[in-house]
Amino acid sequence: MKRSLWLVVALAAVLGSPTGSAGAATAAQDLGYDSVSAVHLRLLVGSEAAAGRGRPSARARSALGFAEALVLATPSKSARWSLFFRTVALGGSGPAAWVGDLAGTSGNEAPDGVHVQDLAVEWRARPGVSLLAGLYDLNLEFDVTEAAAGFLHASFGMGAEFAAAGVQGPSTYPYTAPVLRISVSDARGRYLLAAASDAVPGRPGDPSRERWRPGGDGVLFTAEGGRHWSVDPDWMPGRVAVEQVSVGVWASTRADSLTGDPVHPLGGYVILGLRVGAGEAFARIGAAREHGAPLHRSVNVGAAGPLFRRLGPAETWGLGLTWAATSSHWRRMGQGAPAGEAVVEGYLGIPVGARGWLQPTLQWVLNPAAAPERNGALQLTLRAQWVGWLR
C-alpha cells in the first residue's frame, strides 16, 4: 500500500492542481449537479513535502502522498437524481507530530489507508430544492469560505472550533458519517442548508472504518443560510464588492466532555467574502460552547488573487492568518497550554501545464497548543498535484 502511494508522490511531484485534497471535496460544486449527464470520473494525485525548524532548535521533515477517485453519475439531463462517490488513499506522514499545533497545518493530513469518503444520492425535488442522503462530507457545502480555497492550513477549510466538535468532529475529512441534507436556493444566490448527521463519524474505536448507518451516538444538526453574489472578474482595481455572506449554527444531542461534566456541543460561525479588485478577501469568526474540545473560538482572515493578469491558468498568491482559542478544559489538562494558537500562512500557486499545480507554502506557527514547550515553528511545504476529468 505505502509503496504504491509513494509512486503517487513521485508522479505528483512531476505533474502537480489548484484544488487540494479538501478542494477535491468541492468537485461536485465545481462541476455542478445540474450540468451532469451520464458518468464522470475525476482522478487526483498529489503529494506534500514539508520541512521546518521549531524552537528551541528542533528540525524535522515529513512527506505524504494522496490519491482520490470521484464519480458523479446521473442517468440523463432530465433525471432528478444523482450519485456521488469518492474514495481516498493516503500514505506517509504529515507535519502535525513535530509542529505541535492542534488545528493542523495541512488539511490533507490523515491516517494511512484507503477509505470511502462519500457515497450519497441527491434528489432534486424541483429547481433549487434538493435532498441528499448517504455517507457525506459536510464541508462540501457547510462552512465553506470560497476565497480561502487555496490555503493549506486545515482551519481555512473548516473552522477550528467546528472541526473539534464532539468526539471525532463532524462528518468531514477524513472521517464521514451518514447524513441527511436539504438544500434550498434561488436565482438571486440566496440559499438555505440544513443537515442531520451521526454525531460520531466512523466506527467506535476505529474511526477510519466507515459506518453505513447511524450508530446511536446522537445527532449533529447543522444549518446555514446566506447569499452569493456573482461579481465581474474584471472588476476594476480599487473597487470592493461583497461576494459571500454566510451564517451557520450547529448543535449536538450527544453530551461530551473531557472533564466528567458533560454538556451538549453547540456553536456558530459567520463568513464574509469580498471581491477586491482582481483579488478576493475573506473573514470568518466562529465560536462554540466550552464542552471539553481543545478549541472553542476561531478567527480566519486573508486575501488571495492572481499574481499576473492574463488569460488561462495564472499564478496565484495568498496571505492569511488563523487564530484559535483553547478551551479552559484543555488548559487545565495541558499544564501550560497557551490561551490560543495562531498560524500566519503565505503561498504561491504555479500552474504546470493544463492540469498540474505546484504550490510552495510558508507557515509561521505561534504558540502550538498541543506541544507548548516547542514555542512555535517555521514550516515550508511544497504541494504538487495533478487532476483530470474523464467524461
Q: Which residues contact 314 (CB under 8 A, 6 or more apart)?
A: 306, 307, 308, 351
Q: Which residue has the cell 461530551?
A: 256
Residues belonging to the chain: 391
The residue among 175, 150, 159 whose CA lies nearest residue 385 is 150
Return the pLDDT at 32. 41
E strands present in 113-154: 113-126, 129-136
Would you tell me how many other CB atoms lie within 10 Å of the CB of residue 312? 6
Here the cell at position 260 is: 466528567
Beta bridge partners of 266: 251
Tell me, what's the pLDDT at 57? Answer: 55
Cell readout for 26 is 468541492
Q: Which fold has domain 2-390?
A: Porin (2.40.160)
The pLDDT value recorded for residue 384 is: 95
Q: Which of 45, 302, 306 is closest to 152 using CA atoms?
A: 302
* pLDDT value for 209: 65
Phi/psi at 35 (nearest 5 deg)?
A: -100, 0
Amino acid present at 90: L
Kindly list the averaged pLDDT for each block of 10 residues, start to end, along the chain of length 391.
36 35 38 54 89 70 90 81 91 78 85 88 93 95 93 93 85 91 96 94 65 73 96 72 96 74 86 92 94 84 84 81 87 71 95 91 86 77 88 63
Distance CA 360, CA 381 (A): 6
Distance CA 360, CA 358 (A): 7
How is residue 374 annotated by DSSP? G
Element (H, E) at 23: helix 21-24
Whole-model pTM?
0.86
- Provide the 10 A C-beta neighbour count for residue 276: 18
Measured CA to CA, the distance from residue 146 to residue 380 in angstroms comes to 24
